[in-house]
Structure 1
């Protein structure tokens, strides 16, 4: 059979290589974004994989590129977000399931969503530290063994094909060090592979478009419902997925979670919800109530308990509830969940707190960092509403373009910031900040350098500074 793997940028090179190892496959790879390094091209060619371009389809009639195919026809494998003028027979997520369903023999938790994926994975890592977990996230691939965090690869994407890379790295480590992986926790973009015992959709905070406007994030992430049990925030489940014709079937294997608040009178309808919440900058305590939660072992859980963790604002608490709901769905003991969350102290590169000395002064300011390549307007609003509650607050906001496929809505963001009415000092920075300056009211400051912008906020009298920066954390390593 001929198989065309589209998009070598987002994991297609890995998938093409896997197909080439199978008998009876003639493999073609299309570098649709023209980003394939020369060494990867050479490697693919050495595996007898043929590199093609868009003219490749000219050799096939439209009739042969149908939704079903015979053994002598072409199977097209492409990302779910790829906009092709031809049918896609298998997504990259489905291809990973095809290759890995018989290779991974331990429990799997797979996490997708618009916001909070990396933070939820980090919390799950703390909960499952004693099980020698294999972790794939936007921060890299690592294994926790004997309480030691072993980094296997940094700067890896969360495209589904990276699951193959992560597992192979873990196999090499297990052979060399005699470690036995006990559980896999995978962060995955735009959906799930179907490998998961528990698949997690953290939220659909903003349902951005994909496929050049022909589809949206929520449809792609619906792939996660191929998991044995699905965990999803209550609002997304009700507002988006409850409208699907097959929702009754999906709902039977779905556990939801939510935070009790005045604006959400239906929070009690979720399977897991938090109440009696006491927010703190370094630790937040809360009660958890569990109602009719389904586990992968077929049990139903009804209980309540108290937790505390690093969750200075509501959206951080929602991430914690996602981890709680996921762990309960796996059948994990409550005391293990409580202990794991207690040990979570924030995540460098997502949300963490630092005390910075001002340059030339023996005075500290508190900096709450929100550094995230996919930060969007919804997340900004939640974070700003948090910092407003603290003494002498300031916002340092900026970042870069092109760090994710989803860019930020500058007009909506500037409207929100302009509506603050001097409640908070605002300093913009980076190329994003420079672009926004023309949309801002008088009184907003700008500095091109991020550290200087934070320093400026402190010297203007701020004691609690919220730094929101669209970037990969590794790109700021020289700060």
Structure 2
């Protein structure tokens, strides 16, 4: 597969957007001999960061004072608007443009690794973290795993997880950092699993698209995120295995990607009450506290543990189990892992704190629909619901829309016994008998204090704050 970074004619490279991983990419390019200019398109670079880059002989400019004709290659993120002045000028002068994702793929290819791990990349709109985490747990029963998600960098072995590092985002450039850490941490994992935003890099041996539901526009609202994610499959080698949610097949057709051109296995999650018959390679159905996975005449039933909303994990169970099966992991290990699974922190996980039941749904991917799911789950228990709702905006790129929260309150506030809103943008909504807290921790503590005034069996707390954990 062609790589611009392997082209001897490419010497001068501009990296656009140094907020979302561009600093990492710029330094890696400099390390292998390129003349690099980092372009601060959003004006977010601190003085300390700028000084640090310049000390490494990386020029830093803004898009206003950048002459594009001096570059042989432009590296730009997929979310930057295509009508950005530098991208328009580059196209007019026929200067090649590649994404951060492709740059990471090609930079990884330049690494001289004595023993390359099997690499799995997970992308999609929802269920990325849960899919990657369940898959790491399954695979770790047979192979050691280094897992990077929005939860952090974890090392998995024999079903046991050890947190190794926190603070990295799921931008594609973080894969480069994780590979460096793999060497320095002394954890030579046999498998590396990466949660990646807005598509896969194509470096992996396995690529997974969990779901494209709840699509949204990027690039200055010029393209759909789903198109970008599906198009990223074209970056994979012909030997790569692609695990694809069946609902994404239409996107393949629209982008004229032939399923025969790459090895694709599809899965579907079907509600058996509808009577719909799936024509996918694998099909998962759920009934009561059991899931059933069917493929080529075989069927595996798994009994699920209590203590979390298993229905919220059906996509994760399907994608992870299918991937593990295609990798040759035994049915026995898969069944054992899923049966022991009890949910992830902040993803519809049930727990008891000071005798009070808590449904924890606070995570970086939370949206207003999952808030309603958490509320409905609480109401099924016929207890008074204390809801903690909002965002820690400084932690996440896309916060929780105050307009969506206001709409939810108009429709569902009557279902909440007490409501605590979190985050500066939610403050205007905290009127009347609605409480306010500045942070997730304060909101949780206030909710627990309210719960102590009631019988523990009378109340249930729902934690729904969009944040990194």
TM-score above 0.5: yes
Q: Does the CA-based 8 Å contact 1:198-1:330 persist in structure 2?
A: no
Q: Helix, strand or coil: the match of 2:382?
A: coil
Q: Which residue of 2 aligns with 1:345?
A: 342
Please give the per-residue CA displacement for 1:9-44, whole angstroms capped at 9, x wherever unaligned: 211111111111224x22111122333344543443
Is residue 114 of structure 1 aligned with residue 111 of structure 2? Answer: no
1:27 to 36, 48, 69: 36
Alignment equivalent of 2:266, drawn from 255, 263, 277: 255
The change in CA–CA distance for 1:162 and 1:252 in structure 2 (over 3 A counts) is: closer
Of the candidates 185, 192, 213, which is equivalent to residue 205 of structure 1? 213
Partner of 2:420: 428
From 13, 18, 26, give the equivalent of 1:8.
18
Displacement, 1:155? 0.8
Distance in 1 of aligned mates of 2:179 and 2:231: 21
Match of 1:445 in 2: 434
Q: Deviations over 1:246-275 (max 9, x none)?
A: 355578624222142445x54633332233
| Cα distance in 2 for residues equivalent to 1:233 and 1:347 | 22
Shift of 1:167: 0.9
Which residue does 2:229 correspond to in 1? 221
Alpha-carbon distance between aligned partners in 2 of 1:274 and 1:459, rounded to the nearest angstrom: 43
Contact 2:361 2:371 in 1 (8 A): no
- Name structure 1 gaps, 5 residues minimum: 61-71, 280-284, 292-301, 358-363, 474-479
1: CA distance between counterparts of 2:158 and 2:399? Answer: 40
Task: Describe the shift of the 1:470–1:59 C-alpha distance in structure 2 as closer, same or farther (beyond 3 A).
Answer: closer
Q: Residue 375 of structure 2 aligns with which residue? A: 384
Where does residue 139 of structure 2 map in the other structure? 128
Runs of 5+ in structure 2 lacking a partner?
1-10
1:76 is matched with 74
| Equivalent pair of 1:109/1:199 in contact (CA under 8 Å) | yes
Q: In the alignment, is the contact (CA less than 8 A) between 2:388 and 2:422 conserved in 1?
A: no
Counterpart in 1 of 2:4?
Answer: none
Between the aligned partners of 2:125 and 2:452, the Cα distance in structure 1 is 32
Distance in 2 (CA, whole Å) between partners of 1:201 and 1:459 is: 45
| TM-score (normalizing by structure 1) | 0.81
User: Within 5 Å, which residues of 2 pair with 1:398-437?
Assistant: 398-420=390-412, 422-425=414-417, 427-431=419-423, 432-437=425-430
Q: 1:11 to 1:146 in 2, by over 3 A?
A: same
Task: State the shift of 1:154 in Å.
Answer: 0.9
Q: What's the CA shift string for 1:324-379, capped at 9, x where partnerless?
A: 1222232322112112223332222434322123xxxxxx2200101112311232
- 2:466 pairs, out of 446, 463, 470, with 470
Number of equivalences: 430
Deviates more, 1:203-212 or 1:33-42: 33-42
Paired with 2:434 and 2:60, the residues of 1 have a C-alpha distance of 50
Distance 1:102 1:150, change over 3 A: farther
Work out whether residues 107 and 182 of structure 1, in 8 Å CA contact, stay in contact via their aligned partners in 2. Answer: yes
Partner deviation per Cα, 1:438-478 (whole Å, 9 max, x = no partner): 6xxx8x632424121344356467433322111222xxxxx
Q: Distance in 1 between matches of 2:246 and 2:173?
A: 29
When residues 339 and 249 of structure 1 are mapped into structure 2, their CA distance, relative to the original with a 3 A threshold, is: same
1:237·1:256 contact (CA, 8 Å) conserved in 2? no
**TM-score normalized by the length of structure 2:** 0.82
Give 1:426 deviation, angstroms.
Answer: 5.2
Please give the per-residue CA displacement for 1:297-341, whole angstroms capped at 9, x wherever unaligned. xxxxx5211224455142222222221122223232211211222
